[in-house]
């Protein structure tokens, strides 16, 4: 993970390389809370892949990059 101050900064850093997924710091915080927020609960149980996928979908992270099955959802 890399943190940049702007989209322009990302473009300069990438040069001619193709970008991966990008998200704002706000969205990253939302993801961190949704993904890790329950881990200190004494009754915590690992989530299924489907439950994890639901977290991503609920946050609007639906591009192929965020597909946990590894399959292209558009095919």
What's the pLDDT at 72? Answer: 53
Instruction: List, for residues 25-74, the tens digit of each pLDDT value.
Output: 999 999 999 999 999 999 999 999 999 999 999 999 999 999 998 755 44
Greater pLDDT, 18 or 31: 31
Return the closest-CA partner of residue 68 out of 22, 59, 60, 57. 57
Is it the case that residue 13 has pLDDT exceeding 60? Answer: yes
pTM of the model: 0.79
Question: HSE on the CB side for 45, CA within 13 Å?
Answer: 4
Place of tokens 């946990």: 68
Question: For residue 57, what is the enclosing H or E element?
Answer: helix 49-58
Is it the case that residue 3 has pLDDT exceeding 90? Answer: no
Return the closest-CA partner of residue 52 out of 41, 67, 39. 67
């Amino acid at each position: 993970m890399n943190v940049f101050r702007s989209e322009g900064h990302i473009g300069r850093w990438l040069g001619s390389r193709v970008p991966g997924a990008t998200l704002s710091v706000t969205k990253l915080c939302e993801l961190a809370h949704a993904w890790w927020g329950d881990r200190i609960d004494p009754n915590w149980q690992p989530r299924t892949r489907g439950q994890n996928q639901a977290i991503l979908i609920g946050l609007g992270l639906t591009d192929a990059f965020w597909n946990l099955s590894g399959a292209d959802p558009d095919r």
